[in-house]
Structure 1
Amino acid sequence: MTPTHRSLAAAGLTLAVLGTLTACSAASTTTAHGTLGPSATSSPAHWAYDGTDDPAHWASVSDDYRTCAAGKAQSPIDLPALGHDAPLDLDVEKGEVTETTADNGHTVQLTAGSGETTVIDGTAYHLQQMHFHAPSEHTVEGKRYPVELHFVHADAKGHLAVVAVFAEAGAHDAAFDPYIAGAADGETSARGHVVDVAAMLPTNRAYWAYDGSLTTPPCTEGVHWVVLATPIELGQDQIDALTAVHHDNDRPTQPLDGRTVRSSTE
């Protein structure tokens, strides 16, 4: 299938964003989903997805990462069966925008240019960046998808809305070709291209929504997550191109710790 845009709503967020968001890396002032990370004047501690600096040891790598173990609202989580909460309402006002793509060592980040606005529950958010994890970080009743894409948005006040989209093997999706081409380049410097953000999202409005955290150090909490329940399809060659660059870059699911997960079918 070729996914198109429309509808999704999210609750208000309270996490401030300072500066330009960068993808899953603690190497800059802002991290995966826009939370303030280690100072730009200090050298952030190295973390990884395997070895002695893997997710089980993130909290011991640096004092800056203590929330990775001490936090009570961590992401990702295992998602339950869909419920019957209020429907979501999302509208991508302008889909085609100029982006840059670069490999940051943990994932391939698409950094948004100007022009794209997503209205969520009446609030205008601007796409900051998108990146992928393989396999998916969130699970659905224990099921894991081959790929999970994170579209990171921020409103004018710095409130964050992260839209997660699962991907499974199926029909080739041309909307992802520019991003995947950038990933396959293996470049750490930015590669410019144009993508249609609207066409990268599924049409179905089924969702889960909950309050969580960054899925990478420093694991800062206060991130609102909206996970779309209907996966998009990518060609197996497209999935292979992504996983050839990064694979097993997923954090294990975290305890729910009494949080509420809202959800609904379309």
Structure 2
Amino acid sequence: MHRFPRSTPSLVAVPVALLLLAGCSSSSEPDAADAHGGDPGSVWSYTGDEGPSHWGALTSEYGTCSSGEEQSPIDLPAPKRGAALDLQASGPVEGITADNGHTVQFTAADGARTRIGGDDLHLVQLHFHAGSEHTVEGEAADAEFHFVHADEDGALTVVGVLADRGAHNPAYDSFVAGATAGAGRESTVDLDAMLPEARSHYRYDGSLTTPPCSEGVRWIVLEDRIELGADQLADLEAAHVENVRPVQPLGDRTVDYSLA
């Protein structure tokens, strides 16, 4: 049974510096920092002795990966099809797409603004996981995209979008092209066009899904999924596949539905 608590979780600021590649230049050498943050000098993986079950022991900075009580991703309940997400994007955003070793990440240039639920945020970056990290009633999607936003204090809101194999999606062409470029590539993303038309959603308190697994992240996962063409998914999976952290215990947390 999922209860419905406050509409806006309390946030703990997570340094935005953890999220960025080395600037937004056209450099062909992407920083080794991972998709959600982390120490470029550390080594972690999605498999073997450096995989998710071992992250907390790799270094003291990653201890939250094993000791945290509000970790992400989680298994989500059946959709409720409630009210739409109140999101207003500033329009197409330019930036650099590059492979950072764990995913392909679009890093937005300065000035990418988004208003979510009345909060003024800026889009920091976008990256993907193949398949999805969040599951719904135990079932994973073919991919998941994370649109990472920060407020002026550095507190994070991540909008998660699940994707299934289906029709070609031109809104993702620029990002996918960056995934296949083999080096940093100038890209443009249109957040509004990349989200599903229906925007009922889940909200919960969570964490980064990669080391250091910092908590205090507001998660908004849209219930409806987008479709990507088989060719688009193949291009993404050629770069990274199964770059997925397993679902984490919900514990004492609650999932808030966007009920009208």
Could you say which TM-score interval applies, normalised by the shorter chain? 0.7 to 0.9
Cα RMSD (Å) = 2.3
For residues 219 and 81 of structure 1, the distance between their equivalents in structure 2, rounded to whole angstroms, comes to: 26
Residues 40-69 of structure 1 deviation map (CA, whole Å, 9 limit, x = unaligned): xxx632100011111011111111111111
SS in 2 for 1:230: coil
Residues 209-254 of structure 1 deviation map (CA, whole Å, 9 limit, x = unaligned): 1001111011111111000010011111000100011001000000
Shift of 1:85: 7.2
Match of 1:227 among 215, 221, 226: 221
For residues 177 and 140 of structure 1, the distance between their equivalents in structure 2, rounded to whole angstroms, comes to: 26
Q: Which runs of 4+ in 1 moved over 4 A?
A: 9-12, 25-28, 83-87
Alignment correspondent of 1:110: 106
For residues 181 and 187 of structure 2, the distance between their equivalents in structure 1, rounded to whole angstroms, comes to: 13
Q: Do 2:95 and 2:187's aligned partners in 1 also have CA atoms closer than 8 Å?
A: yes
Q: Does 1:89 align with 2:83?
A: no
TM-score, normalised by the number of residues in structure 1: 0.85
Letter in structure 2 aligned against 1:166: L
Q: Do 1:98 and 1:113's aligned partners in 2 also have CA atoms closer than 8 Å?
A: yes
Match of 1:214 among 193, 199, 208: 208
- Where structure 2 has 5 or more consecutive residues not aligned to the other structure, the ranges are 1-6, 22-29
Q: Do 1:10 and 1:226's aligned partners in 2 also have CA atoms closer than 8 Å?
A: no
For residues 156 and 46 of structure 1, the distance between their equivalents in structure 2, rounded to whole angstroms, comes to: 30
Q: Does 1:182 align with 2:178?
A: yes
Q: Do 1:85 and 1:262's aligned partners in 2 also have CA atoms closer than 8 Å?
A: no
Alignment correspondent of 2:148: 152
SS in 2 for 1:19: helix
- Where structure 1 has 5 or more consecutive residues not aligned to the other structure, the ranges are 1-8
* Change over 3 Å in CA distance of 1:175–1:85 after alignment to 2: closer
Match of 1:260 among 251, 254, 257: 254
Q: Do 1:207 and 1:264's aligned partners in 2 also have CA atoms closer than 8 Å?
A: yes
Aligned length: 246
* Change over 3 Å in CA distance of 1:26–1:143 after alignment to 2: farther
Q: Do 2:32 and 2:100's aligned partners in 1 also have CA atoms closer than 8 Å?
A: no
For residues 242 and 265 of structure 1, the distance between their equivalents in structure 2, rounded to whole angstroms, comes to: 34
Q: Do 1:10 and 1:88's aligned partners in 2 also have CA atoms closer than 8 Å?
A: no
Match of 2:66 among 69, 74, 90: 69
* Change over 3 Å in CA distance of 1:186–1:249 after alignment to 2: same
SS in 2 for 1:125: strand
For residues 26 and 224 of structure 1, the distance between their equivalents in structure 2, rounded to whole angstroms, comes to: 25
Alignment correspondent of 2:4: none
Alignment correspondent of 1:242: 236
* Change over 3 Å in CA distance of 1:197–1:246 after alignment to 2: same
Alignment correspondent of 1:58: 55
Alignment correspondent of 2:25: none
Q: Do 2:9 and 2:205's aligned partners in 1 also have CA atoms closer than 8 Å?
A: no
Q: Do 1:33 and 1:162's aligned partners in 2 also have CA atoms closer than 8 Å?
A: no
TM-score, normalised by the number of residues in structure 2: 0.87
Identity of aligned residues (%): 51
